[in-house]
Amino acid sequence: MTTAERIDGKAKAASMSNGIKEETAALLEEHGITPGLAVVIIGEDPASQVYVRNKKRTAESCGFHSVQHTLASDAAQDDVLDLIENLNNDPAIHGILVQLPLPKHLDEQTITQSILPTKDVDGFHFVNIGKLTSGNLADAFVPCTPAGCMLMIEDYLGTDLSGLGAVVVGRSNIVGKPMASLLLKANATVTVCHSRTKDLAGVVRQADVVIAAVGRANMIEGSWVKPGAVVIDVGINRVETTVDGETKSRLTGDVDFESVSEVARAVTPVPGGVGPMTIVMLMANTLRAAKLSVGLDG
């Protein structure tokens, strides 16, 4: 029985953070610029609070100018848009991120599209989506999770995926669709699956690369996976288990790590796989935005 290599996203992200820290120091010394990241959080969603704290801590450890704007859960849409306009016009801010999900009364599309494409470090603006989809990545911002997944895939399979089949399970605008675009740019043959796909297990079993981003705990089992495949688990699901009469919750992915580890070449754990890479790619995008803002190559 073979055991898959555990892809350590935490270690890779830490190594990348060190590189970003060095580049940030050089940017300040040579050009007098400190990358500025503004995070806007609306309401009290506990998971969002944790994500924002992690982003702020990482930004500060990289030497960034880090700003957080916290608005009440009943904040008016016009107040959110006014704040974003001020950040768009602030030369000290190079990246703007609005933490999702938003309270129900706010229009997510209007708010995310109000961020300048040049400061859209989440890669959600239609201009950046268009650049990614058409393969024009020179000054595009790619969504952080797919960008991080791609770097982990490249560690095992290189930058040219010619002749390899990739299956993306999930078609969200945040992960599934941009992931497919990146894989296509790397010359993979890409299939995007979703809840309406017939014989999902059979489709997944053909893939050399599997990206699971569907939000269902342990859905992808070892029997679904082609021997030697590289499996990237984007799912974050909170599952409750009872141990000695006590209910505890733990995080698990969309992939059944144990059974998949018996057939795959490499697989990301949850937690400790994709999550840390998502945050470090946000830092990489913000550093790039700062460099592009003064005409330096990103």
Identify which of 51, 111, 108 has the alpha carbon closest to the alpha carbon of residue 85. Answer: 111
Q: Is 122 a catalytic residue?
A: yes
Q: Is 99 a catalytic residue?
A: yes
3-state secondary structure of 65: strand
Q: Mean of the pLDDT values across residues 171-192?
A: 97
Question: Given pLDDT bands bounded at 50, 70 and 90, which one contains residue 14?
Answer: very high
12, 55, 119, 185: the active-site residue: 55
Handedness of CA 36, 57, 116, 43 (dihedral sign): negative
pLDDT at 7: 97
3-state secondary structure of 33: coil
130 vs 115: CA distance, rounded Å: 15
99, 131, 185, 254: the active-site residue: 99
pLDDT at 1: 58
Residue 16 has pLDDT above 90, yes or no: yes
pLDDT at 88: 98
Residue in this structure with the two tokens 């961020």, named with its chain if needed: 115
**Do 31-116 and 144-275 have matching folds?**
yes
Q: Is 74 a catalytic residue?
A: no
Residue 199 has pLDDT above 80, yes or no: yes
Q: Which fold has domain 144-275?
A: Rossmann fold (3.40.50)
pLDDT tens digits, 89-146:
999 999 999 999 999 999 999 999 999 999 999 999 999 999 999 999 999 999 999 9
Residue pair 116/84 in contact (Cβ under 8 Å)? The answer is: no
Residue 2 has pLDDT above 70, yes or no: no
Q: Mean of the pLDDT values across residues 13-42?
A: 97
Residue 49 has pLDDT above 70, yes or no: yes
Instruction: Report the mean per-residue pLDDT for the chain.
Output: 95
pLDDT tens digits, 67-93:
999 999 999 999 999 999 999 999 999
**Helix, strand, coil percent values for the chain (each to nearest 5):** 40, 20, 40
Residue 176 has pLDDT above 80, yes or no: yes
Domain definitions of the chain by residue range: 31-116, 144-275
Contacts 24+ apart (CB under 8 A), 130-138: 132/178, 132/181, 132/182, 133/181, 135/181, 135/184, 135/185, 137/185, 138/298
CATH class for the region spanning 31-116: alpha beta
Identify which of 103, 143, 138, 106 has the alpha carbon closest to the alpha carbon of residue 122. Answer: 143
pLDDT at 247: 83
Residue 224 has pLDDT above 70, yes or no: yes
3-state secondary structure of 113: helix
122, 233, 254, 256: the active-site residue: 122
Question: Given pLDDT bands bounded at 50, 70 and 90, which one contains residue 245?
Answer: confident
